[in-house]
Amino acid sequence: MLAMSSLIKNLESKFPDMTFAEGPRAHWSPDTQTVYYDPKERHADWVLLHETSHAALNHHRYVRDIELLDIEREAWSYAVEQLAPQYSITIDPTFIETQLDTYRDWIHSKSTCPHCQSNGFERQKHNYCCPHCGSSWQTNIGIDVGIRRVISSR
């Protein structure tokens, strides 16, 4: 296994149009073309390959919340199948599923009707409706914040 500093140097060489920078949390910023990483994070090398995959796959923004899960799954697949083998890294599938579960839980929380607790669907970006009771609600933006649901009509 490569040391984190060696992995970063290799990725910088492979992806010269990207910037790699240490940050408080790992993420891909399409606006600045920067892959941020936290070397203290558990399995930082796996997460770095995942975030680099977002960049390599040209991931930018998502419209519907459910699209984020597809984007995350696609980035993990690319990391496992394309990047990790080049650096003799094996990413544990259980770790990936745990990461994806956080997005699944996030989507489930956002789509749960605040009135009747049934599962609703996203009609427009951050606007959900319930097929059971007819309620509509708006959710806040962001995956790193507590979820808020505000009923807009019933």
In a shared domain, residues 100 and 142:
no
Structural domains counted in the chain: 2
Query: By the 8 A CB rule, do 26 and 44 touch?
Result: yes
In this predicted structure, the answer to whether residue 145 has a pLDDT above a threshold of 60 is no
In a shared domain, residues 80 and 141:
no
In a shared domain, residues 9 and 55:
yes
pLDDT digits (tens, 9 = 90+) for 23-34: 999 999 999 999
User: What is the model's pLDDT at position 62?
Assistant: 86
Beta carbons within 10 angstroms of residue 74's beta carbon: 14
pLDDT digits (tens, 9 = 90+) for 85-131: 999 999 999 999 999 999 999 999 999 999 999 999 999 988 999 99
In this predicted structure, the answer to whether residue 147 has a pLDDT above a threshold of 80 is no
Quote the domain boundaries for residue 132. 116-153
User: What is the model's pLDDT at position 129?
Assistant: 95
* Pairwise CA distance, residues 50 & 57, whole Å: 11
Taking each helix axis from N to C end, the angle separating 93-111 and 65-78, rounded to the nearest 10 degrees, works out to: 170
In a shared domain, residues 145 and 101:
no
In a shared domain, residues 52 and 122:
no
In this predicted structure, the answer to whether residue 150 has a pLDDT above a threshold of 90 is no
pLDDT digits (tens, 9 = 90+) for 44-71: 999 999 999 999 999 998 888 899 999 9
